[in-house]
Amino acid sequence: MSVKIALLGFGTVGQGTYRALTLNAGVIKSKTGLELKVTKILEKNPAATESGVAPRKLFTQNYDDILSDNDIQIVVEMMGGVEPASSFMLQALKTGKSVVTPNKDVVAKNFQKLHLAAKNSGALLKYEAAVGGAIPVINSLSGPLIANSITKIQGIVNGTTNYILTKMEEDGLSYEEALKRAQAKGFAEADPTSDVEGIDAANKLTILIAEAWKTYIPPTAFKRVGITGVSKQDLKNAKEKACKIKLIASAEMTKEGIVASVQPQELPMDSPLAGIKNEFNGILISCNMAGDIFLSGKGAGMDPTGSAVAGDIIEIARHLKNGI
């Protein structure tokens, strides 16, 4: 069965997704029987449209071309930012097109609105890549771990800050020096605010909480401390106690409800999170029956994120195939 797909945005993640769907088309066909065809891409940046990664004829600058194309069943939003990404997703869902996105910002801010639009039209909404990149955390919470009552989630969900903290610890760099190195390596943006102040991690924590407990807590509603105040001395002090400092997104179900925060924490060396280095992510899920489940891997990047987006596309295509 062939399923037609539109991509919104053809930057790093858009190109990674296109690569996953084309480079691995044979693997996908043999494992699932599905043929996934990208038939339209919304993108105006010549660096992307003229890159040669996708044929020129697939590109459009008019979203209505996609919305009005009844053959397109899945819209993949990879534009980044809140608007127009959010409106575009809502429009797609309302017309019955299923939506996949790695955009944690939109999902965290408009979680309920997006899910309601999907529910009303019967379309599907998936965002595995929004938390932990290629790490299958959303799927695990909503699938194999769903019979559990989740007691606690602790995650290193931002690769930029973990890279900076790792370099400060291992190479004795100051925060400023480590940030510069992260920027030079492409692990931090020119304006690193969203990463280093914990805003990105807070968005991801909102999504994890919603998946684990079906409770929506906006990212502005819990304590958030970034890593700009972490000094070389703090890391040395932690080391003397056989600990590492990591930026931890944490949520725990207590008698008083969910207690959540994003902040630097000292972790003992034997915590699996203490072993997560550089740009990698790790998430520890404590369950009332399954015990502690730990997942780790690449939390960002063209190919990891693209393959996770493609995984969601395939999951939806299977549902479409079965006639839901």
Nearest residue (CB) to its own copies, 23 versus 225:
23
CA 297 to chain centre: 12
Nearest residue (CB) to its own copies, 266 versus 312:
312
Q: Is the peptide bond before 84 cis (omega within 30 degrees of 0)?
A: yes
Element (H, E) at 262: strand 257-268
Least spacing, CB of residue 28 vs its own copies, in Å: 6
Concerning whether 223 is annotated as a catalytic residue, the answer is: no
Cite the DSSP H helix spans in the chain.
12-23, 25-32, 46-49, 63-67, 85-94, 104-109, 111-121, 137-142, 159-171, 175-185, 193-196, 199-213, 232-240, 302-321
Least spacing, CB of residue 290 vs its own copies, in Å: 4
Element (H, E) at 100: strand 98-100
Q: Say which of 104, 109, 167, 204 is annotated catalytic.
A: 204
Three-state SS at 283:
strand
CA 299 to chain centre: 7
Nearest residue (CB) to its own copies, 150 versus 262:
150
Q: Which residues bind its own copies (CB under 8 A)?
A: 16, 19-21, 23-24, 27-28, 30-32, 128, 133-136, 138-140, 143-149, 214, 272, 275, 287-298, 301, 303-304, 306-308, 310-315, 319, 322-324
Least spacing, CB of residue 231 vs its own copies, in Å: 27
Give the bridge partners for 154, in sequence order. Answer: 250, 284
Least spacing, CB of residue 294 vs its own copies, in Å: 5
Nearest residue (CB) to its own copies, 224 versus 246:
246
Nearest residue (CB) to its own copies, 133 versus 198:
133
Least spacing, CB of residue 143 vs its own copies, in Å: 5
In whole angstroms, what is the distance from residue 16 CA to residue 54 CA? 11
**Enzyme catalytic residues:** 204
